[in-house]
């Protein structure tokens, strides 16, 4: 599946000087950690590199970016001309969001999504990797001959910890733990990172989660949990989109739930549907029906306002539970 090796990637990167590295829309800790650790590593090698994303980094992840959140194209220096475009953790052109036209120009894509939509010239896709950060670690470690700065290892650790749910999800492998161990050896501040990622919540995020718990419904005899949040709910309760990012993880916790479904109305009136599976049902395949994707255990898709209820019904049906 990979058409370039880690060694090949390093050779290629050393030949270039000006890099632009894309994160996916609604960037998560793996996207931010993978992208920024590459940016810092390339800069350490004397090169010019910038991160870019169509959306702001959520404030809950600002601890990873020194408080900066705007990495849109407009944030780049006017005189910067990138010669090598990369993406990290981006599965498809659609995930570039407003920057979608750039997908066709990407020279190298690093990813761990099994559904990766081979849009780049060079690909390194490792679906067994628990996070894209696991792949990026190998690149950074080779480029820096093992001398990875503390800031970079902490970024990689955050990506790895976030995508594996704190090393609890099925995508956690011995290789994941080995990389995590290396990162801690290099000085990753794992306790502080995990506090930031998994414990510390804004009051508005807690309000969003309280709303979700109050309004979630159980379907198929309690095997599916489902909640829909409308713009009006968001405005009435005073929370933002990014406050709802953990809602899916809250509703999947109920005992007996195998599949969780969360539909959120976006500002443009369309809906983002997020799904999680803690059984053999592959939600990436099901979300694929609506042009979405992701991982077998965590996936999503976007649908119009008039199709959200029928889409949720179809997803429920595709799960194939009897009752
Ligand atoms: Mn990821």
Query: DSSP string covering 291-311, please?
Result: T-EE-SSEEEEEE-GGGHHHH
Sheet holding 259-265, edge to edge: 217-219, 224-229, 259-265, 271-277, 298-303, 293-294
Q: Which residues contact 181 (CB under 8 A, 6 or more apart)?
A: none
Taking the centre of ligand 1 as the mean of its atom positions, its distance from the CA of residue 232, in whole angstroms, is 31
CA 135 to ligand 1 center in whole angstroms: 10
Q: What angle do CA 260, 262, 264 make, to 5 degrees?
A: 175
The pLDDT, as a whole number, for residue 91 is 94
How close is the Cα of 132 to the center of ligand 1, in Å? 5
Distance 198 CA to ligand 1 centre (A): 16
C-alpha to C-alpha distance for 288 and 301, rounded to whole angstroms: 7
For residue 236, the tally of other CB atoms under 10 A from its CB is 10
Query: pTM for the full model?
Result: 0.85
Q: How far apart are CA 160 and CA 235, in angstroms?
A: 33
Give the integer Cα–Cα distance in Å for 47 and 66.
20
What's the gap in Å between 15 CA and the centre of ligand 1?
Answer: 27
Distance 157 CA to ligand 1 centre (A): 12
Query: What is the distance in A from the centroid of ligand 1 to the CA of 3?
Result: 20
Contact 313, 228 (CB under 8 A): no
CA of 320 to the centre of ligand 1 (A): 27
Distance in Å, CA 322 to ligand 1 centroid: 32
Distance (angstroms) between ligand 1 centre and the Cα of 196 equals 18
State the Cα–Cα distance between residues 226 and 191, nearest whole angstrom: 32
Q: Residue ranges of the domains in the chain?
A: 6-198, 203-319
What distance separates the 2 farthest-apart alpha carbons in the chain? 61
The rounded Å distance from CA 164 to ligand 1 centre is 9
**Could you tell me the distance, in angstroms and rounded to a whole number, from the CA of residue 34 to the centre of ligand 1?**
9
pLDDT for the residue numbered 115: 87
User: Distance from the CA of 33 to the center of ligand 1, in angstroms?
Assistant: 10
Taking the centre of ligand 1 as the mean of its atom positions, its distance from the CA of residue 178, in whole angstroms, is 18
Q: How much is the pLDDT for 2?
A: 64
Per-residue model confidence as pLDDT tens for the chain (323 residues): 569 999 999 999 999 999 999 999 999 999 999 999 999 999 999 999 999 999 999 999 999 999 999 999 999 999 999 999 999 999 999 999 999 999 999 999 999 999 899 999 999 999 999 999 999 999 999 999 999 999 999 999 999 999 999 999 989 999 999 999 999 999 999 999 999 999 999 999 999 999 999 999 999 999 999 999 999 999 999 999 989 989 999 999 999 999 999 999 999 999 999 999 999 999 999 999 999 988 899 999 999 999 999 999 999 999 999 76
Lookup: tokens for 53: 């994303």
With 0-12 / 13-18 / 19 or more C-beta atoms within 10 angstroms meaning exposed / middle / buried, residue 72 is middle
In CATH, the number for domain 203-319 is: 3.10.310.30
Distance 131 CA to ligand 1 centre (A): 5
> What spacing in Å lies between the alpha carbon of 72 and ligand 1's midpoint?
20
What's domain 6-198's architecture?
Alpha-Beta Complex (3.90)
Q: How far, in Å, from the CA of 29 to the mean position of ligand 1?
A: 8
Cα 30 to ligand 1 centroid, rounded to whole Å: 5
Alpha helices in 131-228 (DSSP H): 132-143, 150-163, 174-185, 190-194, 203-215
In the reported structure, the alpha carbon of residue 311 is separated from the centroid of ligand 1 by a whole-number distance in angstroms of 25
């Amino acid at each position: 599946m990979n058409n370039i090796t880690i060694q090949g990637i390093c050779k290629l990167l050393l030949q270039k000087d000006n890099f632009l590295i894309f994160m996916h829309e609604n960037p998560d800790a793996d996207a931010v950690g993978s992208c920024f650790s590459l940016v810092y590593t390339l800069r350490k090698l004397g090169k010019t590199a910038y991160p870019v994303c169509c959306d702001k980094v959520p404030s809950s992840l600002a601890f990873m970016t020194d408080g900066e959140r705007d990495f849109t194209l407009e944030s780049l220096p006017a005189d910067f001309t990138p010669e090598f475009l990369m993406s990290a953790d981006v599965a498809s052109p659609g995930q570039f969001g407003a920057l979608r036209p750039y997908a066709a120009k990407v020279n190298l894509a690093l990813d761990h999504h099994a559904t990766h939509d081979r849009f780049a010239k060079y690909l390194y896709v490792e679906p067994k990797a628990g996070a894209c950060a696991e792949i990026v670690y190998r690149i950074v470690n080779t480029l820096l001959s093992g001398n990875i700065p503390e800031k970079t290892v902490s970024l990689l650790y955050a990506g790895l910890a976030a995508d594996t749910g704190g090393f609890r999800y099925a995508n956690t492998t011995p290789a994941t733990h080995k990389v995590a161990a290396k990162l801690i050896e290099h000085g990753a501040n794992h306790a502080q990172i995990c506090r930031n990622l998994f414990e510390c919540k804004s009051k508005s995020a807690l309000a969003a989660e309280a709303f979700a718990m109050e309004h979630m419904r159980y379907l198929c005899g309690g095997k599916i949990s489902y909640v829909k949040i409308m713009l009006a709910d968001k405005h009435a309760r005073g929370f933002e989109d990014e406050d709802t990012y953990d809602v899916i993880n809250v509703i999947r916790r109920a005992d007996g739930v195998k599949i969780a479904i969360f539909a959120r109305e976006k500002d443009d009136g369309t809906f983002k549907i997020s799904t999680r599976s803690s059984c053999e049902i592959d939600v990436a395949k099901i979300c694929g029906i609506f042009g979405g994707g992701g991982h077998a255990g965590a996936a999503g898709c976007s649908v119009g306002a008039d199709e959200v209820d029928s889409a949720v019904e179809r997803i429920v049906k595709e799960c194939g539970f009897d009752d």
